[in-house]
A = this chain, B = another copy of it.
Amino acid sequence: MEKVKLLGTWSSPFVQRVVWALKLKGIEYEIFYEDFANKSPELLKYNPIHKKVPVLLHNGVAICESLVIIEYIDETWKDTSPFLPHETLDKANARFWAKFGDEQALPAFYDIYKKQGKEQEEAKEKTLANLKLIEQQLNEKNFFNGENIGFLDLAFGWLADYSRPLEVISDVKVLDEESFPKLCAWREKVLAIPAIKESWPDQETLIAKFRKIKESKGQ
């Protein structure tokens, strides 16, 4: 019997994408919630480099970094719901855009929530440009890889479940239906998937949590 544990927090989009991956594959797992003010000995032991969540423990062996974990899950449990596309070129494309998401699109989006005034305006402009590029990748497909949810949908998962709460708090709307009809339709499709719907963090609680973080940092 395989033992799968996840060290996480309920509010991290990086943990959330791993939760989705596990649920989509139908993998039984146990989640342990970390308190960042008081990190668990397990977190310090299994991710000594970054001391961050998510950490996946598979039969006691640790895998860190959310996108690395998702590739690991996909390669280990390959019989159900493949995440990475089959063709090498499509795979490269998915990895390129996942990197773009984490290094460019997500930080800019998060800055809208974190910053004020001119800096917030700049983050908004950057985000609109990024979303335009992401929307083009989606094109006429239901999901980034075609008919089924895959690696890039998980990588862009924060756009589905965190964009609205962050927009509410910052009172800046970027992902609107008129400008990004395909991305908005994609969001609805992602969030309607049962495995995702049941693990989608409650939006009001998420808003309250991120509002509190913002206030505590005096942003």
Contact = CB atoms under 8 A, between A and B. Distances in A.
A91 B75 contact: yes
A80 to B, nearest CB: 16
A58 B63 CA distance: 32
A63 B95 CA distance: 10
Given A65-B99, A99-B65, A71 B92 contact: yes
B71 A89 contact: no
Given A49-B100, A72-B88, A75-B88, A95 B133 contact: no
Contacts of A96: 63-65, 68
Given A49-B133, A100-B49, A133-B49, A89 B65 contact: no
A138 to B, nearest CB: 15
Contacts of A92: 63, 68-69, 71-72
Q: Give the bracket for the number of chain A residues in contact with chain B.
A: 20 to 34
A61 B89 contact: yes
Interface string A49-90: 100000000100101110011011001100000000000110
A68 B88 contact: no
Contacts of A95: 65, 68, 71
Interface centre among A65, A76, A92, A96 (most CB of B within 10 A): A92
Interface of A: 49, 58, 61, 63-65, 68-69, 71-72, 75-76, 88-89, 91-92, 95-96, 99-100, 133
26 contacts: A49-B100, A49-B133, A58-B89, A61-B89, A63-B89, A63-B92, A63-B96, A64-B96, A65-B95, A65-B96, A65-B99, A68-B92, A68-B95, A68-B96, A68-B99, A69-B92, A71-B91, A71-B92, A71-B95, A72-B88, A72-B89, A72-B91, A72-B92, A75-B88, A75-B91, A76-B88
6 smallest CB-CB distances across A and B, nearest first, come from A72-B92, A75-B88, A68-B95, A63-B92, A76-B88, A68-B92
